[in-house]
Amino acid sequence: MTMKALAKTRPGPGLELIETDVPRPGPRDVLIRVRAASICGTDVHIYRWDAWSQHRIRPPLILGHEFAGEIVAVGEEVEGLEVGQFVSAEGHIVDHTCAACRAGQLHLCRNARVIGIDRPGAFAEYVCVPAENVWVNALDVPPEIASLQDPFGNAVHAAYAFDLAGRAVLVSGCGPIGLMAIPVARVAGARLIVATDLNERRLALARRMGADVTLNPQQDDVVGQVRTLTGGDGVDVVLEMSGAPAAIYAALEALRPGGQVAALGLTAASITLDWNEHVVIKGATVQGIYGRKIWDTWHRMRALLQTGAVDLSPLITHRLPLEDYEQAFRLLMHPGDEVVAKIILYPNGMD
């Protein structure tokens, strides 16, 4: 039995729609029919074949790690899962033996293998994953929303790194994860949410997601306006989602003494900052954020989505069949005047 899949078949820019065998689940695996898969920024890096991709990716590889679908087969040793269940998956497959895993920090496993990066992913009609990585979705969550739980988990992890109740929060960078963090910060009790980005269309989405104030560094004095909004103090917490050096510097300047930074954005290269003034003398707390806490963050996500406290639907700007992948990646890389946030692909058709 064969299936169609979207793969990096050889080194170089671009992807290819291929026909390949449906994977066979091992004794502790499940086979999932993919109903919806969303494109991640990592997938764009692989499409472009940038320096990171050249170092990390080993073609041939089926891409995709943000997805939802239903179980169609289970391995003989699998317990607690059954055919027909509506599921997603935690993308990091951990070893359970490294120091981080033994300390209960599975998301920081030094030997983690990632679906769609280190093993075949979900831009395909079917994907095979270890049963221990499967997350059973609530039936009332649409497949498109369920497919966003991987990036949403990053936002939830960052927003809950510190107590936001009654705090002034700066969301630095309004890519999809930054946009997702805005309503989470609101639910967590933030009194003021300021969002920054260079893209006016993303800032419009940020306002729709619940930001109180949006600032464009190309037009606005971010540090000056943040201090005005906070009585001269600066924000209590920064959620740094951009990875852009200029944005990081501005965010640290806008942070009040004793403030806290949840740093999720990855920089393209090493950066230099005034460690003494921005961190040590300021008494700042900087917490690196990677992935999602397994499974703590997933339970928080379930509650936020099921109760309706967070609505991610405004972030789904395009829906396309898998065959239209070129259009999808073109939109993400060159949006023009369009509002582009999350694009959903449908490997088994748009039913």
- Asked whether the predicted pLDDT for residue 96 surpasses 80, the reply is yes
State which amino acid sits at residue 168: A
pLDDT digits (tens, 9 = 90+) for 119-144: 999 999 999 999 999 999 999 999 99
Quickly count: other Cβ atoms within 10 Å of residue 54's Cβ: 11
Highest mean pLDDT among 219-223, 336-340, 347-351: 219-223
What is the total count of domains within the chain?
2
224 Cβ contact partners less than 8 Å away, ≥ 6 residues apart: none
pLDDT confidence band for 351 (50 / 70 / 90)? confident
Question: Could you please report the per-residue DSSP string of 216-274?
Answer: -TTTS-HHHHHHHHTTTS-EEEEEE----HHHHHHHHHHEEEEEEEEE-PPPSS-----
Q: Are residues 120 and 258 in the same domain?
A: no
Distances (CA, A) of 225 to 80, 229, 234, 322: 53, 6, 9, 44
pLDDT > 90 in the chain, percent: 99
Q: Are residues 162 and 266 in the same domain?
A: yes
Question: Could you please report the per-residue DSSP string of 201-213?
Answer: HHHHHHHHHT-SE
For the entire predicted model, the pTM comes to 0.97
Residues with active-site annotation: 42, 45
pLDDT digits (tens, 9 = 90+) for 48-58: 999 999 999 99
Q: Are residues 186 and 116 in the same domain?
A: no
Range of the domain at 143: 2-148+312-346
Rounded to whole angstroms, how far apart are CA atoms 234 and 217? 16
- Asked whether the predicted pLDDT for residue 348 surpasses 90, the reply is yes
Q: Taking residues 201-218, report their average pLDDT.
A: 98
**pLDDT at position 190:** 98
pLDDT confidence band for 307 (50 / 70 / 90)? very high
Check which CATH number belongs to the domain holding 320 and give it: 3.90.180.10
Reduced to 3 states (helix: H, G, I; strand: E, B; else coil), residue 71 is strand
Rounded to whole angstroms, how far apart are CA atoms 155 and 187? 13
Contact (Cβ atoms closer than 8 angstroms) between residue 66 and residue 37: yes
Indicate the average pLDDT of the chain: 97
pLDDT confidence band for 293 (50 / 70 / 90)? very high
Distances (CA, A) of 233 to 170, 188, 255: 13, 21, 8
Indicate the Cα dihedral angle 63, 68, 69, 74, nearest 10°.
80
State which amino acid sits at residue 205: L
Residue 251 counted as domain residue? yes
**pLDDT at position 22:** 98
Q: Are residues 215 and 330 in the same domain?
A: no
pLDDT digits (tens, 9 = 90+) for 155-169: 999 999 999 999 999
Nearest CA among 209, 214, 216 for reference residue 229: 214
- Asked whether the predicted pLDDT for residue 329 surpasses 90, the reply is yes
Check which CATH number belongs to the domain holding 214 and give it: 3.40.50.720
Q: What single-letter DSSP state applies at residue 177?
A: H
Q: Are residues 134 and 253 in the same domain?
A: no
Residue 272 counted as domain residue? yes
**pLDDT at position 200:** 96
Residue 165 counted as domain residue? yes
Q: Are residues 117 and 243 in the same domain?
A: no
Q: Are residues 77 and 172 in the same domain?
A: no
Contact (Cβ atoms closer than 8 angstroms) between residue 111 and residue 119: no
Final residue belonging to a domain, choices 288, 303, 332: 288
Q: Are residues 142 and 162 in the same domain?
A: no
